[in-house]
Structure 1
């Protein structure tokens, strides 16, 4: 491909996506430290109790959540023993098939079933997450940001090609100080090439993450439909069976994994006849990969369990990698510093384009005069 073609590709893919990428970098910076910010902001935690204090029955916890919000139904229960030990987070809504954006959270002590908090303040972190995820535009906004991420990856590839050409007469890392625009051009090129691997990883994982509604729909149509096939013609349940019994069955079926999420019958992650329990592994990598266990909601008998298909695993791996959530706080700090570098790269690109446009406009005025 000719050099002029690479210049054209880099120029226009960069111009189209840069402002959106700046917004994603700025909103992504606090999201890297979501857990740390939650702790500093005073999120309720389970009180200290003697080690070995027995857990309450999940059915009792469900009853406590319903008592706190009597007009709602329970859809999901979550556990994160690493960040919030001895705490159960219950997601509720007005009905079981309510839209995903309708939810009410209740956090309870897993040992006493006492309500600890109802953390439903859609504050700063919620705003950052929604802007970063879909700009408050739902699925169209999410897919649009995915397109911007794809353009960003193309801009990175074309930028690498151009860097090799324009720096062939200069030593690597040279930042000329002849004038402001030249200095910023060299700095833009240097920071971009030094962080090219990280920028590519974040760009590609960001694109993958925008596809999560599509991936979920594929999983529902493919694996989940196959797993619940024998129940397709069964009449709907009048009431659910024991949530605790379903969890016990899942624990026996996959004893080397930990329970992280319970989806109630009728939700998008389950069928009308099943509890779906999602299990996770015990290593930094396997803790991001979930395994569904389907349990008959009435009899608490195991229906099926199997590994997720490759496309779901790809999504699960890309989500925490996008935010540097694999190596604890040290990796998050590195991710944040690289994010700041990316902001400088993007901002300098905008500055260089504005300077170039201003010079051309000034030149055209001189020619006319």
Structure 2
């Protein structure tokens, strides 16, 4: 009896966790398909000039030169940050008319994308984006937070947890369901509903490991944003707190951005600088550069270390190591989109995604069919009295 009760409870968990999250999981599976090929789509729709063809080992253009070029194009404006891309040979310089216009409504922030080797300007964000990049941004925003920012991300994280519960309960139910059948049996000679039930169970158990990995890493991806912000507002801001409210030194007295980049890389072997905030940035310090360093290998490239560098001396003042829970979350990101094994893995991810859509649709179909059958059965006794009276 206890085994029967446990099975019924598992069925209850599987049914309702699946029903609640199915529509949203279908939505995420569909929007996730183009994101698997986001790099290839970006390459096809990119209208920027091509990157310069250079020999391997060609050094990157100095950040100082790019800063001078950005100020020459927009005199009097402020550089808010540098993004040094290690996936593509590009450096993006972010600017704003003044720190007063940097945050809040009405901000006029923009960016300049430079070729990392030639220093040529590839894109000015004040020019409207091409339709391809706008479409991918739309899909990415739908997939990550359905245009609701943090509430949307947390809602999708809850849907992901329900999906994980549905997978685990489904795996535990598969044994009792198949105890009188061979593994993988699809009873093709039975009714359409029975055939779909067997196919649903077969695909579900075959895809269990993959769906569990993608579901769990999807939850981690949704949680990483608020947790990263929490870490930034606690440990990182604690590092910056002693310097808040101080005046920003005159810019001509600062050490150069390129010197800060080199100092950080030399102090952290095996790292590179991805993001650099000049002094005065509200997310940094009035008289420090804030460098966000990360590992230079595929595994460590998602692990960040914020470093404070004195703008007047060029010396490192402090650094904070990413906490273990964030390190785990960041390392899990590539598993979600399968973007660490080249095109063969991307194609495999697409096939598994499409198979998951079949599982979700078949589960919804089976529930609707079962409900329809039950309603017909309940309707039969209600017809009997009238039939007798008519006779």
Instruction: Specify the SS of the correspondent of 1:38.
Output: helix
Question: Displacement of 1:223 after TM fit?
Answer: 2.5
Q: How does 1:13-162 map to 2 (within 5 A)?
A: 13-42=17-46, 44=48, 45-49=50-54, 53-68=58-73, 73-81=78-86, 83-85=87-89, 87-93=90-96, 96=99, 97-98=102-103, 104-118=110-124, 120-121=129-130, 123-162=134-173
User: Residue by residue, what CA displacement relative to the aligned partner does 1:41-69 show, whole Å, maximum 9, x if unpaired?
Assistant: 23533221455655332122133335556
- What residue ranges of structure 2 are gaps of 5+ in the alignment? 384-391
User: Residue by residue, what CA displacement relative to the aligned partner does 1:14-52 show, whole Å, maximum 9, x if unpaired?
Assistant: 111000011111111111111122122235332214556
Q: How does 1:1-369 map to 2 (within 5 A)?
A: 2-42=6-46, 44=48, 45-49=50-54, 53-68=58-73, 73-81=78-86, 83-85=87-89, 87-93=90-96, 96=99, 97-98=102-103, 104-118=110-124, 120-121=129-130, 123-177=134-188, 178-232=190-244, 234-237=246-249, 239=251, 241=254, 242-265=256-279, 267=281, 270-369=284-383
TM-score, normalised with respect to structure 1: 0.89
Question: Displacement of 1:249 after TM fit?
Answer: 1.4
Bigger CA radius of gyration: 2
Question: Displacement of 1:233 after TM fit?
Answer: 6.0
**8 Å CA contact 2:80, 2:96 repeated in 1:** yes
Instruction: Specify the SS of the correspondent of 1:197.
Output: helix
**8 Å CA contact 1:284, 1:327 repeated in 2:** no
For the structure 1 residues 187 and 84, does the alpha-carbon distance in structure 2 shift closer, same or farther, using more than 3 Å as the test? same
Alpha-carbon RMSD: 2.7
For the structure 1 residues 217 and 42, does the alpha-carbon distance in structure 2 shift closer, same or farther, using more than 3 Å as the test? closer
- The alignment of Structure 1 onto Structure 2 pairs a total of residues equal to 367
Instruction: Specify the SS of the correspondent of 1:211.
Output: helix
**8 Å CA contact 2:246, 2:286 repeated in 1:** no
Q: C-alpha separation between the residues in 1 aligned to 2:334 and 2:288?
A: 28
**8 Å CA contact 2:245, 2:286 repeated in 1:** no
**8 Å CA contact 2:295, 2:302 repeated in 1:** yes
For the structure 1 residues 305 and 4, does the alpha-carbon distance in structure 2 shift closer, same or farther, using more than 3 Å as the test? same
**8 Å CA contact 2:224, 2:330 repeated in 1:** no
Question: Displacement of 1:12 after TM fit?
Answer: 0.9
**8 Å CA contact 2:244, 2:285 repeated in 1:** no
Q: C-alpha separation between the residues in 2 aligned to 1:117 and 1:345?
A: 43
Instruction: Specify the SS of the correspondent of 1:123.
Output: helix
Q: C-alpha separation between the residues in 2 aligned to 1:274 and 1:9?
A: 53
TM-score, normalised with respect to structure 2: 0.84
Q: C-alpha separation between the residues in 2 aligned to 1:232 and 1:104?
A: 25
User: Residue by residue, what CA displacement relative to the aligned partner does 1:116-163 show, whole Å, maximum 9, x if unpaired?
Assistant: 123634522111100001101111111100111111111111111211
Q: C-alpha separation between the residues in 2 aligned to 1:204 and 1:331?
A: 19
Tell which deviates more after alignment, 107-116 or 71-80. Answer: 71-80
Greater fraction helix: 2
**8 Å CA contact 1:275, 1:296 repeated in 2:** yes
